[in-house]
Amino acid sequence: MRSNKKNILLFLSLAILLAIFISPFASSNPDGLEWVAKTKGFLVKAEDNIFWKNSLMPDYSIPQFTFLSKTIAGLIGTLLTFIFTMLLLKLKISKKFYTKKNN
Tens digit of each residue's pLDDT (9 = 90 or more) over 47-77: 787 777 777 777 777 777 777 888 888 898 8
The answer to whether the CB of 38 falls within 8 A of the CB of 30 is yes
> How far apart are the C-alpha atoms of 21 and 11, rounded to whole Å?
15
Distance (Å, whole) CA 55 – CA 49: 10
pLDDT band for position 101 (cuts 50, 70, 90): low
